[in-house]
Structure 1
């Protein structure tokens, strides 16, 4: 049976019949799991424990929430420089680490059952042990700007971090490091880096940017990534795609996009249903099937939640654009002879490299100027900034054996599967962190002063059975409005139990579970 036929299967049974069939050991019918999960998630609602809760004086917002691997402890990263731990069984605050950092805490990530890491706008990371929280076990210094997210690569036993300094670092936990630092390597660097996420198996690294596209690195090898990608400038290549004009400083890296590439292969994703500008947050499906992101439009007034497929595609799906077919070299051309550029082709100079590498703020300023916009529409944007410095000799050794790459621009595949527009004008300037349920069937999205539960279709099927022929809107299973006194910034599902939490800008945490 095809996935489309499975998507049309709808199974409904009463709670009594479900329990009775389980008692009798009857074989589950097709759609049974979908129906059970829909019943459970449809009955989610907020609840308050019967055990009196400690009052936690948290000033400012809850920026991130993370459960321990066994689901027993919830850790909250707070704007007031603190970290708060809760007992998930009774929702009671068990400990608050005052002044955990010298600036707001942005993210929490559990490394194992007892150790978790936090990062902050003070440019540092800290490791903590839940069995002894008087002080951190290690402080990691290396970034030069706000550290915004933490990932853990189990296969390499390294922490992967990214910051607003544009760098991605790996921190080797296996080395005999000091209490105050740790050996680290810079594995990638780019302007406009917003967030990074690893798939659970560590095979893909997804980078969210402030310039309206996602960058996927397939078949990740963290040990060789720096050398493989050290001279590649994603913004420069993206600028070439937008202008539809080739220049050697970018096209010489076409090989990084080749489907046959065995490690650190690059792919861009840019098909958003809106005019996306800043990809503010990103999450990966538990099975690594897709990337869930939230973006802000160019007018800074609307936000959208989008789902993009990130699985490996057939090599035949990947294509490229030839900008000037008349300039393609003859097959019998002497490899030692450099073909002259055609009349319609201009070798790009050093200033073009500057355009692709300059700050996003400066680039956006230039792009928003009316005269620049008009020239961009005519495909002449690069020419107006070019200094006229011809540096083609820098790239001749590469193109001597790959003449065709001078005129090729890799096309980005359509990857969008689902989307939904978020509430307008809510919490402007703050990043909202979405999350998946542990089984990957459900998405929880901050929605004003509450949250929304979103599914891939009406049957709440797993995404592998709910891939549409064309992008479609996410199904809204439930909306919880005004459950907080302020805008919700983050949410999280318990990895072991049917339990969910959300945190808001006012410092409150609301707990949810099925209410029968």
Structure 2
């Protein structure tokens, strides 16, 4: 059936089949072309000669009905467009005292803006001569605004790492009532799902934070004191940190509200560091983010699934680690047995008596304690391995803290290692010589590496016993694999955030690509988001796929920074660094 035939059937009021959207929408998206270009610099003449340029367009937002378009602009301005006539109707100059970063409609008549002047402003679309209210509380650039209709709360986030909620219906003499509900170092952007049941955050630490079963009224209470950066360090270092581990309950399925999940899986070649942009699927199936790799040379667009796991990933991770450790011990035992049985090798040592010595801390010369008696008991010589934080402190302070005899050398002082108060201290499993996830208590302790192995074993055993009593249920939650699709982007204008967007049906992702945009789909046929997590499928079998490029359009003379699809019709609007706005529609 041709497109014209489909239009005739629609005009005649004939019933539509279930496959109509799969047939018509790919043709619509593939035929999108630039229709109208608005350039704020003007073309000269009396009407534009004295007009002030609004600067780069950082963010675009349609009203819920799709008849009004707002642009957040670089030079402290807000640009207001009539979508039907495709004309600018008003410029609000000096809306803030610095660049306007983001705009969010609260309803058809009211909207909010945030700025680099650390404030949030409320506006009435019917009266733009002055803002309704200026909200002050953040101490750094405010980059995100969300509105929870369920709680009637405005949610703002800033580069100060804070997330505030504002009750826009409660006015006091000092302003609106607000509350700091969460803090995360390196916070970049925050987004709410359409049903306001999840909160997604991007960070400059190479990971994303998802809060499931969101309740903004109790978020501060449920996550009070939780430090995402510290828990992420514990995961990356595989070292147990008590200050982070005591918040293990926020990751558990037993947490009925405000359950936390970290997402840190990215493509193989993408060593993600700063996750700049974030956008949610219109139906809440997934979210798309744009990040810069650690080397700062490449940008990637990634799609992560939002469906929750059926069970906690901790137990799966524990079983996997136990299996790996068991196989490793078996290989070592087999290797040592082969060396022992080799002809002429009479000085072999049992497998589980081998223990690597830490560099620059313990002499390689054998001591009297490491005798055949210890090997006969088939025990391991325990060795203390300091973590990076403890090493950073002890290198400067170790010599100063210890009493030195006149004939004591500096090398002897390095036989002592201090554990700092953070409690970051790996220990060893003395039965098999493998590392354990536990650590020392937060009390400062001294280990004398020059002591006999029995004395060191006793010290470590006492420390582990003390820590086990304090933290009896030790767990470390693993991050599930959520990456489903990805693609590589151009890295131009590194200092600016480039915002992708979803089409209203969620079939297309429009992403800035240099001086133009790309339409990316989950397949060449512009299919709906097909990924549904099969909980019986193992984590290792969940492989991500590259996004399909549907269309590429270059219509700007500068780098595109913002994109937005209309919620009501196949209409796309993009804004660039120089202040140009381009409108795209299908050309059939």
Give TM class, smaller chain: 0.7 to 0.9
Partners of 2:418 and 2:291 in 1: how far apart?
29
The answer on whether the counterparts of 1:252 and 1:399 sit within 8 Å (CA) in structure 2 is no
1:241 is paired with a residue whose SS is: helix
Q: Show structure 1 runs of 5+ residues with no match.
A: 1-12, 326-341, 356-382
Decide whether aligned partners of structure 1 residues 247 and 318 sit closer, same or farther in structure 2, where only a CA change above 3 A counts.
closer
1:220 is paired with a residue whose SS is: coil
TM-score by structure 1 length? 0.81
Question: Paired residue for 1:151?
Answer: 146
2:236 is paired with a residue whose SS is: helix
Cα deviation per residue 1:209-261 (whole Å; 9 max; x = unaligned)?
00100000001111111121121111111111111111211222111111232
Correspondence 1:439 to 2:467? no
Question: Paired residue for 1:129?
Answer: 124
Decide whether aligned partners of structure 1 residues 402 and 427 sit closer, same or farther in structure 2, where only a CA change above 3 A counts.
same
Question: Paired residue for 2:195?
Answer: 201
Deviation (angstroms), 1:512: 0.8
Correspondence 1:510 to 2:582? yes
Deviation (angstroms), 1:479: 0.4
Correspondence 1:269 to 2:269? no
Correspondence 1:418 to 2:485? yes
Deviation (angstroms), 1:200: 1.0
Decide whether aligned partners of structure 1 residues 456 and 433 sit closer, same or farther in structure 2, where only a CA change above 3 A counts.
same
Correspondence 1:475 to 2:542? no
TM-score by structure 2 length? 0.71
Cα deviation per residue 1:179-234 (whole Å; 9 max; x = unaligned)?
x7311000001211111111111110001000100000001111111121121111
Partners of 1:321 and 1:88 in 2: how far apart?
52
Cα deviation per residue 1:77-106 (whole Å; 9 max; x = unaligned)?
111011110111122111111100000000
Shifted more, 387-396 versus 299-308: the winner is 387-396
Question: Paired residue for 1:169?
Answer: 164
Partners of 2:78 and 2:193 in 1: how far apart?
26
Cα deviation per residue 1:458-483 (whole Å; 9 max; x = unaligned)?
111110468896211111111012x1
Decide whether aligned partners of structure 1 residues 310 and 324 sit closer, same or farther in structure 2, where only a CA change above 3 A counts.
closer
Task: Indicate which of 90, 95, 101 corresponds to 1:100.
Answer: 95
Decide whether aligned partners of structure 1 residues 343 and 449 sit closer, same or farther in structure 2, where only a CA change above 3 A counts.
same
Correspondence 1:403 to 2:399? no
Partners of 1:506 and 1:21 in 2: how far apart?
44
Partners of 1:255 and 1:347 in 2: how far apart?
28
Task: Indicate which of 237, 240, 243 corresponds to 1:243.
Answer: 237
Cα deviation per residue 1:395-438 (whole Å; 9 max; x = unaligned)?
99997586131xx2211111001111002x31111110111111
Question: Paired residue for 2:108?
Answer: 113
Question: Paired residue for 2:308?
Answer: 312
- Structure 1 or 2, whichever has the larger Rg, is 2
Partners of 1:44 and 1:303 in 2: how far apart?
25
Deviation (angstroms), 1:345: 8.2
Deviation (angstroms), 1:455: 0.9
Deviation (angstroms), 1:451: 0.7
Partners of 1:18 and 1:385 in 2: how far apart?
77
Deviation (angstroms), 1:457: 0.8
Decide whether aligned partners of structure 1 residues 398 and 147 sit closer, same or farther in structure 2, where only a CA change above 3 A counts.
farther
1:183 is paired with a residue whose SS is: strand
1:176 is paired with a residue whose SS is: strand
Question: Paired residue for 2:441?
Answer: 392
Shifted more, 315-324 versus 217-226: the winner is 315-324
Task: Indicate which of 61, 68, 93 corresponds to 1:66.
Answer: 61
Question: Paired residue for 2:558?
Answer: 486
Partners of 2:304 and 2:383 in 1: how far apart?
36
